[in-house]
């Protein structure tokens, strides 16, 4: 897993040099991404970055069914690293039946066959040979290229993207020694992640990576919403539970100023209550670069946490077992 985590800078630079997907522009009224896990995660980053520019609603579906509004006026991005994710394939078939413009993103499998046979309106092949979560950056960049080619977002994402590699290798790179220490201290704790909307995809990524790589339970929530409910739940954990939970707050310079005040308040309350917590803020940079800097930090942490648990971060045996179970079902 370390090889793939540490290759982010190279993968990123290679990906941002790839051209946009050539796509005939349609009369779209909405965008739908179909995907699961790391394949769906790419849409979270791109959708969050696109909010100031995108004039169409964009929904991400992690399921077999698609919304009733999906039609011939919908741009659908079907993302499955393996190309065989059953939820994605079933949902994609329904989108095709409704006449949607469907773009495929995959390294192989059925989805790649559909793309290369012309069944889909467009297709971007991904490099193969990785677990899907270790290839999330490929799907992410492919979705940027798709929307740029559809003339739905500006090409300025590439300029922001170029700010990332220097952050990963320069003096402001994520502090791996601190991340390793956090993993050792938190290996027996339930990990709760908080982030403002501008950085929520990274909190989601952290939860997914902690769970898959470290086989460790984690949770995430977004503020200001959690300030209206979950913050009250800090009052009455048992003394035993208080020693078994840790909080990680993720943010950056593009956080709304009012939410920065909320984070300051939350940090004070966590301190007063004696909880274990850390606050990580990305170094000031373009929004996309900040999100991906945090992306790298949480990925590194998840592998250190796996090492602290003495587990191999790559295999996910219970997911493999589930797939075998489903394959045998009628």
Any idea which residues carry the catalytic annotation?
212, 228, 323
Q: How far apart are CA 281 and CA 88, in angstroms?
A: 34
Q: Do the bridges between strand 218-222 and strand 30-34 make them parallel or antiparallel, or are there none, so unpaired? A: unpaired
What is the C-alpha R_g of the chain? 20
Structure token pair of residue 97: 């039946």
Structure token pair of residue 100: 């949607």
CA distances from 111 to 4, 16, 38, 70, 234 (A): 24, 23, 16, 20, 45
CA 247 to chain centre: 19
Structure token pair of residue 195: 């982030």
């Amino acid at each position: 897993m370390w090889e793939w985590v540490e290759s982010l800078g190279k993968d990123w630079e290679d990906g941002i040099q790839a051209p946009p997907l050539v796509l005939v522009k349609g009369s779209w009224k909405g965008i739908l991404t179909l995907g699961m896990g790391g394949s769906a995660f790419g849409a979270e980053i791109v959708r969050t970055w696109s909010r100031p520019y995108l004039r169409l609603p964009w929904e991400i579906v992690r399921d077999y069914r698609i919304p009733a509004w999906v039609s011939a006026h919908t741009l659908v991005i079907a993302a499955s690293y393996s190309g065989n994710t059953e939820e994605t394939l079933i949902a994609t078939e329904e989108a095709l039946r409704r006449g949607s413009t469907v773009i495929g993103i995959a390294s192989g499998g059925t989805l790649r066959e559909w793309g290369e046979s012309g069944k889909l309106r467009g297709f971007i092949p991904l490099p193969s040979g990785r677990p899907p979560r270790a290839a999330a950056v490929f799907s992410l960049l492919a979705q940027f290229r798709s929307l740029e080619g559809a003339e739905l977002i500006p090409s300025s994402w590439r300029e922001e993207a170029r700010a990332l590699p220097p952050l990963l290798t320069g003096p402001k790179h994520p502090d791996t020694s601190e991340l390793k220490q956090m993993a050792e201290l938190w290996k027996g704790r339930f990990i709760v992640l908080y982030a403002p909307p501008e950085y929520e995809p990274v909190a989601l990524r952290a939860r997914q990576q902690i769970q898959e790589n470290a086989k460790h339970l984690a949770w995430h929530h977004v503020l200001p919403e959690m300030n209206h409910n979950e913050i009250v739940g800090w009052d009455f954990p048992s003394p035993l539970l208080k020693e078994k939970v840790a909080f990680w707050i993720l943010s950056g310079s593009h956080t709304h100023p009012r939410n920065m005040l909320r984070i300051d308040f939350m940090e004070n309350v966590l301190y007063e209550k004696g909880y274990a917590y850390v606050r990580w803020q990305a170094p000031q940079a373009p929004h996309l670069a900040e999100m991906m800097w945090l992306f790298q930090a949480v990925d590194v942490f998840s592998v250190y946490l796996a090492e602290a648990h003495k587990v191999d971060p790559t295999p996910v045996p219970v997911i493999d077992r589930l797939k075998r179970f489903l394959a045998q079902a009628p």
